[in-house]
């Protein structure tokens, strides 16, 4: 073993002596230098996103509480506006479902399962016993449940539900329970990330590399899942009837934010967030790592291909018919066009991007060889 | 011919075989315990709804939770018994059967080192590795032998030669040598490794490791075979495998190879090792020095193993001066050499042919993976894919995309997404599932994109082919795999 150590050391000395030739790849991160991409994404993208979500869910809870105290057209409008901005803030966080978000169940499964389960919600309101963030209640909570309660069947019916209806008290209690639960979960995650709280940020910055449990592996798996499954399959594929467990007709009511007709704004917000994470805002992003990998795509650089395709998808999202559900009803070709471009970006994000970085997607702990 | 037989049956000291048994058995034991402890029995064999058996082995079915855990516990115990040399004649075949069964269940989990374990545990069944330095020889002193025919040791040396040389030959490609792929992708990602990390960011490091790796694989067995170079060779084995252990997530592979290559050391080395260990242990009183009395009693008794019809090598003890003088030579005789040797010849012929069967297929091997497995191709590619499976009901013309995660675990899905034979199996899984749901003859097609060694994702499978109607065959070529080179990026 001593001989081994000796050989290792001499090999290292040999390497170190001759390193003046080429320049190192940026963005790699070393044991001593923190990974610039992780540092920037953690401090300047992820934490601000959760802070913004925390602020807006606090505002939402306050507005809902105001509505609870005096349900009227004015307080409803305030609550609806607060809901919209909180929902859009959520879209910037749905790509970070690992670490604190996974621990606090602030995940798409609990926070954004649509279409919402109106039957369960009605039962809960009507006196059934429920745990608001219980496992079995996953499809009757989060933004989609609020979407239905605050917008379903128009403002008049909504006001009736919370004032003169026989279960008005139950409805009000359920509504406040929903917004309070969201607020609490987001606060938990926000604190867990912050340097003055749980400081997951420090852990995130330190766990470099690409193995299971490394920050980049966790982040990119969550990021790809958010685009591939949440956006491509659930937000568009299922509503237009192309994706599903069985032969399904198109289902316009299965879009995200159906009752508030917020679908397009939410899609745009999510793609902007996808873009922001990729570029790292004005700092180091995933793009720096892709550039450093020097991987090519179709004659150009892979980085250009990904950047361009994100741009194309964003443009397509901005041009979608609003509300999306009506567009689906009318067989708008802009939606199927957009789906085609989304598919191309899915391949780039799920296949080319991780492969250029040596990251495994759909990661399960295992050995390779 | 008789020359050759004499070469294989000349007598050698059993010590290398005993040390191999102990070291390899220990690694197998740790490896099996680790597999259970990581929850992989559950994740790999109990969670999945469907499996991907090897062609011709679909009759091998997994057991339930209790069954699979029992299997792995039996496997762990068998490995421990191999290591201790206790009830070896039962433990060795038992380990082989349990391990091979688990491997045959699902090709998702195929790894070269699991294949290596399978065949090495098979070879262990054939040799009397428990007849020295073992609990069996304490339990039943009549089992003890000190001299074994050379073939029992050569088997493992030949097997390792095949492993390393094939691994080396498979690295002699444009991508590996002249593009430093995939190391150029993998090494910078490891820049956080202490000590050597900072070097991994340089491109020339990837080239250095590529060439050094190929050179190591091609030359190591010759270094280990030659007496003067053996020690430096083994140091290289340790350095090389430790480096791979640090740099890549390859589990027990480095430890398996480090324990197996011990066999190359001379019998002097091994007898010395055993003697020193015994002295050490008996000084501590942890292990009684095996009494030589029963052996001396046995010595003059006529027993078949002491009356070899084949004359033993006249020089074994003069060559290996360090064989304990207290031990009279006890010989193990080859049983049924007329059956055994041809079979072993056939086995090694197969071992030599299998890695080169890829030459019979058209196209790029790394792309099609036709003839890829069982060929000692290790760490050659960074390959990723995405598959979009479609099911069409021809009766209604309706077509929809399938949610793969409803049928497969993430691991199965990831492996399926770059391997055509698994895609075909999955298509047939989907066919059966949708037939049960009332679609009489579902058409299953796939839109599959794969990237190989950073070459940009491109269409992988002919998306017009109804995979539900395609059949797997022994070594047949799959015409629906699109070519790597003549395939325009979508």
Of the pLDDT bands very low, low, confident and very high (cuts 50, 70, 90), residue A4 is very low
**Position A92 in a domain:** yes
pLDDT of amino acid A248: 66
Is residue A41 located within the same domain as residue A155? yes
Pairwise CB contact (< 8 Å): A30 & B186: no
Q: Is A70 exposed, middle or buried (0-12, 13-18, 19+ CB in 10 A)?
A: exposed
**Position A22 in a domain:** no
Is residue A189 located within the same domain as residue A220? no
pLDDT of amino acid A319: 95
Write out the two tokens for B226. 């030659």
Dump pLDDT digits (tens) for A138-183.
999 999 999 999 999 899 999 999 999 999 999 999 999 999 999 9
The yes-or-no verdict on residue B464 having pLDDT over 70 is: yes
Is residue A183 located within the same domain as residue A226? no
A251 touches chain B (CB under 8 A): no
Crossing angle of helices A333-347 and A302-318, in 10° steps, is: 160
Dump pLDDT digits (tens) for A97-106.
999 999 999 9
pLDDT of amino acid A365: 67
A274 touches chain B (CB under 8 A): no
Of A28, A351, A364, the CB nearest to B384: A351
Using an 8 Å Cβ cutoff, are B456 and A298 in contact? yes
pLDDT of amino acid A246: 59
Lowest mean pLDDT among A341-345, B93-97, B216-220, B295-299: B295-299
Pairwise CB contact (< 8 Å): B185 & A356: yes
Q: How many residues does chain B have?
A: 490
**Position A322 in a domain:** yes
Q: Is B302 helix (H, G, I), strand (E, B) or coil?
A: coil
What string of DSSP letters covers A285-326?
-HHHHHHHHT-EETTEEHHHHHHHHHHHHHHHHHTS-SSHHH
Strand order in the sheet with B398-401: B398-401, B383-393, B443-452, B458-459
Q: Per the omega criterion (within 30 degrees of 0), is the bond before B376 cis? A: no
pLDDT of amino acid B70: 98
Please state, for a pLDDT cut of 90, what percent of chain B lies above it.
80
Distance of alpha carbon B368 from alpha carbon B484, whole angstroms = 8
Of the pLDDT bands very low, low, confident and very high (cuts 50, 70, 90), residue B320 is very low
Write out the two tokens for B90. 């039962």
Is residue A189 located within the same domain as residue A224? no
| Count of domains observed in chain A | 2
Please state, for a pLDDT cut of 70, what percent of chain A lies above it.
89
Partners of residue B489 in chain A, C-beta under 8 Å: 297-298
Of the pLDDT bands very low, low, confident and very high (cuts 50, 70, 90), residue B423 is very high
Pairwise CB contact (< 8 Å): A355 & B384: yes
The yes-or-no verdict on residue A222 having pLDDT over 90 is: yes
**Position A26 in a domain:** no
Select from A206, A238, A258 the last residue of a domain: A206
Nearest residue of A to residue B204, measured between CA atoms? A22
Distance of alpha carbon A189 from alpha carbon A177, whole angstroms = 18
pLDDT of amino acid A88: 98
Is residue A232 located within the same domain as residue A294? yes
Dump pLDDT digits (tens) for A38-88.
999 999 999 999 999 999 999 999 999 999 999 999 999 999 999 999 999
Dump pLDDT digits (tens) for B173-193.
999 999 999 999 999 888 878
The yes-or-no verdict on residue B410 having pLDDT over 70 is: yes
Residue A81 sits in a domain whose CATH number is 1.20.1420.20
**Position A46 in a domain:** yes
**What's the start-to-end Cα distance of chain A, in Å?**
25
A331-346: average pLDDT: 94
Lowest mean pLDDT among A18-27, A58-67, B34-43: A18-27
DSSP H helical ranges for chain A: 2-17, 36-40, 47-69, 73-91, 100-103, 108-111, 118-125, 142-151, 154-162, 168-193, 200-206, 215-225, 263-279, 286-293, 302-318, 324-329, 333-347, 353-357
Write out the two tokens for B457. 């994702």
Q: Is B403 helix (H, G, I), strand (E, B) or coil?
A: coil
pLDDT of amino acid B162: 98
A28 touches chain B (CB under 8 A): yes
Dump pLDDT digits (tens) for B62-86.
999 999 999 999 999 999 999 999 9
Partners of residue A20 in chain B, C-beta under 8 Å: none
Pairwise CB contact (< 8 Å): B202 & A19: yes
What string of DSSP letters covers B44-82?
IIIS-SS--PPTT-TT-----HHHHHHHHHHHHHHHHHH
Of A237, A246, A351, the CB nearest to B457: A351
Of the pLDDT bands very low, low, confident and very high (cuts 50, 70, 90), residue A362 is confident
Of the pLDDT bands very low, low, confident and very high (cuts 50, 70, 90), residue B145 is very high
B489 touches chain A (CB under 8 A): yes
The yes-or-no verdict on residue B489 having pLDDT over 60 is: no
The yes-or-no verdict on residue B132 having pLDDT over 80 is: yes
Q: How many residues does chain A have?
A: 369
| Average pLDDT value over all residues in chain A | 89
B16-40: average pLDDT: 97
Please state, for a pLDDT cut of 70, what percent of chain B lies above it.
90
Crossing angle of helices B15-37 and B65-84, in 10° steps, is: 150
Of B235, B410, B454, the CB nearest to A3: B235
A239-261: average pLDDT: 86
The yes-or-no verdict on residue B47 having pLDDT over 90 is: yes
Is residue A239 located within the same domain as residue A177? no
DSSP state of B108: G
pLDDT of amino acid A14: 36
Is residue A169 located within the same domain as residue A266? no
B118-127: average pLDDT: 97
- Distance in Å, alpha carbon of A259 to nearest chain B alpha carbon: 26
- Which residues touch A345 (CB under 8 Å, ≥6 apart)? A227, A306, A309, A310, A312, A313
The yes-or-no verdict on residue B308 having pLDDT over 60 is: no
pLDDT of amino acid A61: 98
pLDDT of amino acid B486: 58
Using an 8 Å Cβ cutoff, are A30 and B200 in contact? no
pLDDT of amino acid B306: 46
| Average pLDDT value over all residues in chain B | 90
Using an 8 Å Cβ cutoff, are A309 and A348 in contact? yes
Give me the domain span that covers residue A79: 32-193+200-206
Using an 8 Å Cβ cutoff, are A90 and A53 in contact? yes
Dump pLDDT digits (tens) for B237-272.
999 999 999 998 888 999 999 999 999 999 999 999
- Which residues touch B246 (CB under 8 Å, ≥6 apart)? B193, B196
pLDDT of amino acid B366: 95
**Position A264 in a domain:** yes
Dump pLDDT digits (tens) for B88-115.
999 999 999 999 999 999 999 999 999 9
The yes-or-no verdict on residue B53 having pLDDT over 60 is: yes
The yes-or-no verdict on residue B296 having pLDDT over 70 is: no
Is residue A80 located within the same domain as residue A188? yes
pLDDT of amino acid A31: 42
pLDDT of amino acid A210: 87
Select from A206, A241, A268 the last residue of a domain: A206
Interface test with B, best of A347, A348, A350, A363 (most B CBs within 10 A): A347
The yes-or-no verdict on residue B288 having pLDDT over 80 is: no
pLDDT of amino acid A2: 40
Pairwise CB contact (< 8 Å): B400 & A248: yes
pLDDT of amino acid A243: 86
B342-361: average pLDDT: 96
DSSP state of A137: G
Nearest residue of A to residue B416, measured between CA atoms? A362
A365 touches chain B (CB under 8 A): yes
Of the pLDDT bands very low, low, confident and very high (cuts 50, 70, 90), residue A6 is very low
Nearest residue of B to residue A289, measured between CA atoms? B189
A95 touches chain B (CB under 8 A): no
DSSP state of B481: B
- Distance in Å, alpha carbon of A300 to nearest chain B alpha carbon: 10
Crossing angle of helices B230-247 and B253-260, in 10° steps, is: 170
Partners of residue B398 in chain A, C-beta under 8 Å: 247
Query: ∠B369-A232-B368 over CA atoms, to 5°?
Result: 5
Of B239, B398, B405, the CB nearest to A247: B398
Pairwise CB contact (< 8 Å): B185 & A22: no
**Position A353 in a domain:** yes
The yes-or-no verdict on residue B434 having pLDDT over 90 is: yes
Q: How many Cβ pairs within 8 Å bridge chains A and B? A: 180
Partners of residue A354 in chain B, C-beta under 8 Å: 384
A362 touches chain B (CB under 8 A): yes
Give A 193-222 residues with CB within 8 A of chain B. 208-212
Is residue A216 located within the same domain as residue A107? no
pLDDT of amino acid B190: 85
Give B 256-315 residues with CB within 8 A of chain A. none
Write out the two tokens for A172. 């009000």
Select from A139, A173, A206 the last residue of a domain: A206
Distance of alpha carbon B388 from alpha carbon B404, whole angstroms = 8
Distance of CA A178 to the CA centre of its chain: 19
B436 touches chain A (CB under 8 A): no
Pairwise CB contact (< 8 Å): A246 & B400: yes
The strand ranges marked E within B356-397 are 383-393
pLDDT of amino acid B198: 87
Is residue A174 located within the same domain as residue A224? no
Is residue A186 located within the same domain as residue A213? no
Q: CA torsion sign, A20 to A26 to A30 to A34?
A: positive
Is residue A238 located within the same domain as residue A99? no
Q: Global pTM?
A: 0.88
Nearest residue of A to residue B205, measured between CA atoms? A15
Pairwise CB contact (< 8 Å): A369 & B437: no
Of the pLDDT bands very low, low, confident and very high (cuts 50, 70, 90), residue B337 is confident
The yes-or-no verdict on residue B490 having pLDDT over 50 is: no
**Position A13 in a domain:** no
Partners of residue A348 in chain B, C-beta under 8 Å: 457
pLDDT of amino acid B73: 98
């Amino acid at each position: 073993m001593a001989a081994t150590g000796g050989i290792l050391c001499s090999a290292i000395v040999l390497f170190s002596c001759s390193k003046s030739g080429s320049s190192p790849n940026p963005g790699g991160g070393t044991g001593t230098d923190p990974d610039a991409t992780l540092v920037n994404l953690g401090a300047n993208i992820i934490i601000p996103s959760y802070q913004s979500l925390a602020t807006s869910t606090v505002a939402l809870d306050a507005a809902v509480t105001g509505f609870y105290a005096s349900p009227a057209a004015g307080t409803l409008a305030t609550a609806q506006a607060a809901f919209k901005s909180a929902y859009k803030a959520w879209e910037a966080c749905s790509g970070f479902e690992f670490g604190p978000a996974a621990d606090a169940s602030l995940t798409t499964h609990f926070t954004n399962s649509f279409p919402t389960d109106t039957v369960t919600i009605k039962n809960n309101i009507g006196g059934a016993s429920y745990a608001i963030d219980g496992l079995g209640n996953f499809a009757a909570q989060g933004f989609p449940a609020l979407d239905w309660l605050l917008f379903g069947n128009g403002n008049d019916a909504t006001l009736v539900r919370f004032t003169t209806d026989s279960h008005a008290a139950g409805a009000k209690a359920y509504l406040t329970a929903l917004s309070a639960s969201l607020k609490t979960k987001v606060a938990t995650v926000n604190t867990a990330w912050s340097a003055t709280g749980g400081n997951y940020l420090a852990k995130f910055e330190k766990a470099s590399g690409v193995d299971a449990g490394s920050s980049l592996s966790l982040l990119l798996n969550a990021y790809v899942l958010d685009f591939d499954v949440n956006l491509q399959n659930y937000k568009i594929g299922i509503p237009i009837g192309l994706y599903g467990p069985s032969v399904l007709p198109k289902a316009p009511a299965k879009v995200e934010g159906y009752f508030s007709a917020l679908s397009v704004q939410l899609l745009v917000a999510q793609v902007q967030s996808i873009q922001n994470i990729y570029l790292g805002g004005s700092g180091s992003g995933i793009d720096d790592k892709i550039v450093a990998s020097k991987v090519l795509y179709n004659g150009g650089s892979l980085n250009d291909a990904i950047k361009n395709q994100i741009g194309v998808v964003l443009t397509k999202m901005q041009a979608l018919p609003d509300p999306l559900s009506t567009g689906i009803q009318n067989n708008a070709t802009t939606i199927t066009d957009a789906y085609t471009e989304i598919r191309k970006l899915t391949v780039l994000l799920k296949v080319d991007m991780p492969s250029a970085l040596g990251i495994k997607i759909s990661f399960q702990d295992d050995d390779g060889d | 011919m008789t020359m050759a037989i004499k070469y294989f049956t000349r007598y050698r000291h059993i010590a290398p075989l005993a040390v191999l048994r102990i070291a390899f058995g220990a690694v197998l034991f740790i490896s099996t315990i680790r597999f259970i402890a990581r929850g992989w029995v559950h994740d790999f064999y109990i969670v999945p709804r469907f499996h991907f058996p090897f062609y011709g082995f679909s009759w091998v079915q997994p057991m339930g939770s209790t069954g699979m855990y029992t299997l792995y516990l039996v496997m762990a115990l068998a490995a421990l018994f191999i290591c201790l040399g206790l009830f070896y004649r039962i433990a060795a075949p038992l380990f082989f059967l349990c391990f091979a069964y688990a491997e045959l269940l699902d090709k998702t989990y195929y790894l070269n080192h699991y294949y290596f374990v399978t065949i090495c545990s098979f070879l262990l069944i054939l040799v009397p590795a428990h007849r020295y330095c073992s609990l069996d020889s304490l339990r039943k002193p009549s089992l003890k032998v000190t001299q074994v025919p050379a073939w029992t040791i050569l088997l493992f040396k030949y097997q390792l030669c095949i492993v390393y040389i094939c691994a080396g030959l498979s690295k002699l490609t444009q991508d590996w040598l002249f593009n430093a792929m995939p190391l150029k992708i993998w090494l910078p990602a490891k820049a956080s490794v202490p000590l050597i990390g900072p070097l991994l960011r340089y491109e020339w490091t990837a080239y250095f490791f590529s060439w050094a790796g190929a050179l190591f694989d091609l030359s190591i067995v010759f270094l280990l075979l030659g007496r003067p170079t053996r020690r430096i060779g083994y140091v290289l084995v340790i350095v090389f495998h430790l480096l791979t252990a640090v740099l890549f997530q390859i589990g027990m592979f480095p430890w398996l190879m480090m324990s197996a290559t011990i066999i190359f050391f001379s019998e002097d080395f091994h007898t010395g090792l055993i003697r020193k260990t015994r002295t050490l242990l008996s000084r501590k009183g942890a292990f009684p020095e095996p009494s030589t009395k029963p052996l001396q009693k046995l010595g003059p008794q006529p027993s078949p193993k002491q009356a070899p019809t084949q004359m033993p090598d006249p020089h074994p003890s003069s060559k290996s001066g360090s064989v304990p003088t207290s031990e009279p030579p006890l010989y193990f005789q080859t049983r049924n050499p007329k059956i055994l040797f041809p079979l072993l010849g056939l086995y090694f012929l197969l071992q030599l042919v299998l890695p080169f069967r890829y030459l019979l297929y058209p196209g790029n091997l790394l792309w099609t993976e036709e003839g890829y497995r069982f060929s000692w191709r290790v760490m050659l590619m960074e390959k990723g894919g995405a598959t979009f499976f479609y099911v069409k009901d021809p009766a209604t013309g309706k077509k929809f995309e399938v949610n793969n995660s409803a049928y497969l675990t993430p691991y199965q899905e990831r492996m399926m997404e770059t391997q055509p034979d698994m895609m075909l199996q999955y298509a047939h899984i989907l066919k059966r599932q949708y037939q049960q749901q009332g679609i009489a003859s579902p058409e299953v097609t796939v839109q599959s994109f794969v990237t190989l060694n950073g070459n940009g994702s491109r269409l992988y499978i002919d998306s017009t082919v109804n995979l539900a109607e395609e059949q797997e065959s022994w070594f047949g070529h799959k015409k629906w795999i699109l070519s790597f080179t003549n395939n325009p990026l979508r």
